[in-house]
Every structure is written in structure tokens, then in C-alpha cells.
Chain A
Amino acid sequence: DTGVSQNPRHKITKRGQNVTFRCDPISEHNRLYWYRQTLGQGPEFLTYFQNEAQLEKSRLLSDRFSAERPKGSFSTLEIQRTEQGDSAMYLCASSLDPRRGYGYTFGSGTRLTVV
């Protein structure tokens, strides 16, 4: 297991289309996170899974966004009816318990461009 894997690396889509991204975390990490990053900003929290349970969603995550982690392993993030404002880097991360000082390991991200 070489780290967190995200697919695709890049996605260009037309406004109004649906897109889905996939994240494969480090296998022994039970915690999985989705963040979004725009130019000049730090990553912003979107949602968090512990095993298969989605425990928190940011208010940034409108009802056009949905995330799943059906078997507690890989996760998908779907954006419906994409808008130009959705253009960003979508980062997935996994970790052990951060309360014990474990940081996140990020994937390479999916760069979404909505035209």
C-alpha cells in the first residue's frame, strides 16, 4: 500500500453535468476525509467518515454534493449539476486517530474544472 490514491487526477466538465471522484485510502486507516482547495487558500473541510459512517458534513457541502464509503474502504464524492464555482482541487485524506497526534495522509487530489 503506497498511500492514498485518487482518481481521476483531472476532470473537465461542462456546467450542469454530474461528476464522481474516487478515493482509496491507506488500508489500515479507518478515518477518511474530503477537503476542497482553491487557489491561494488552505484545504477546507467537506466531510468525514469513520469506517463506513459519515459522521460530519460541512455547510460547504450543498445538497448537490454526496459522499459515500459503502464498505469502509474506498470512498466516492459526487457533485451533481456542477457549477463554475465548484472548480477546485478535491483532496482526499486518511488517517489513524488524530487525537493521538497522527496527521493526515493526502492523496494527489482531483482537479476539477467546470466550463
Chain B
Amino acid sequence: RKEVEQDPGPFNVPEGATVAFNCTYSNSASQSFFWYRQDCRKEPKLLMSVYSSGNEDGRFTAQLNRASQYISLLIRDSKLSDSATYLCVAHSNDYKLSFGAGTTVTVRA
């Protein structure tokens, strides 16, 4: 079983819509969590850290549920430029980040 599991999607949404998706992690000792964005054939780029109390960064909201071991990302007012693969990441020990396989989001005009 992979440490981080994500629904691969794709999530196809119209511009301006809200889209939300989750991931689950298996290691209850995981301490830090992140969402990365990856465009086609590019490197992953840090989108935001995920804090226990939930946090927002503009149109993006991340939530962490430690009891159920899942993390969510919500994108409001979707833009065409939000089309990408979103990687869920758990930090489980001193050094290693474990990545999910990614959720693909396509925003259409």
C-alpha cells in the first residue's frame, strides 16, 4: 500500500467553479503535509503547506484531518491556469517526503 493515496481524477470543471479533492495517508506518525502543483513535464512546485487548523492561500484552502488521516484541497473560482496535477505530500520522518500519484484538474473555458 502506498503511503499517500489520491484519486487520480481527472476533475474537469468550468471556469469559476469550485473543485475539491482529498488524499489519505497511512503513516499516523506523519508530521507535516503539503500540496504541490505539477504542470505537464515540469517539476513539482510547492503550492502550500497544510496546517492542523486549516489554512487558506488566496483561492486555495487546505484542511487536515488527523483522526481520519486525510488532507483536502479546495480551489475556489477556478482559473484556466489552475489546470495541473496536484500532488499530496506527507512528511513522515526526519527527511523523507512521500508523494501521492497526483490528482489531475482541468479547468475549461
Name A residues whose Cβ lies closer than 8 Å to a Cβ of B: 31, 33, 35, 40-45, 48, 50, 55-56, 91, 98-99, 101, 103-109, 111
Contact = CB atoms under 8 A, between A and B. Distances in A.
B96 A48 contact: yes
Interface residues on B, range: 20 to 34
B32 A98 contact: yes
28 contacts: A31-B95, A35-B99, A40-B101, A41-B101, A42-B99, A42-B101, A42-B102, A43-B44, A45-B98, A55-B95, A56-B95, A56-B96, A91-B44, A98-B91, A98-B95, A99-B31, A99-B94, A101-B32, A101-B49, A103-B36, A103-B89, A104-B46, A104-B97, A106-B43, A106-B44, A106-B45, A108-B42, A109-B43
B95 A91 contact: no
Nearest to B48: A103
B34 interface: yes
A91 B46 contact: no
A111 B46 CA distance: 20
Contact of B32 (A31, A40, A42, A99): A99
Contacts of A45: 96-98
Contacts of B46: 103-105
B52 to A, nearest CB: 11
Contacts of B45: 106
A104 B97 CA distance: 9
Contacts of A104: 46, 97
B87 interface: yes
Contacts of A56: 95-96
B34 A103 contact: yes
Instruction: Select the residue from A31, A35, A98 with max chain B CB neighbours within 10 A.
Output: A98
B53 to A, nearest CB: 13
B4 interface: yes
B49 A42 contact: no
Given A42-B102, A91-B43, A106-B45, 18 more contacts: A33-B97, A42-B4, A42-B99, A42-B101, A43-B44, A45-B97, A45-B98, A48-B95, A56-B96, A98-B91, A98-B95, A99-B91, A103-B34, A103-B46, A104-B46, A105-B46, A106-B43, A107-B43
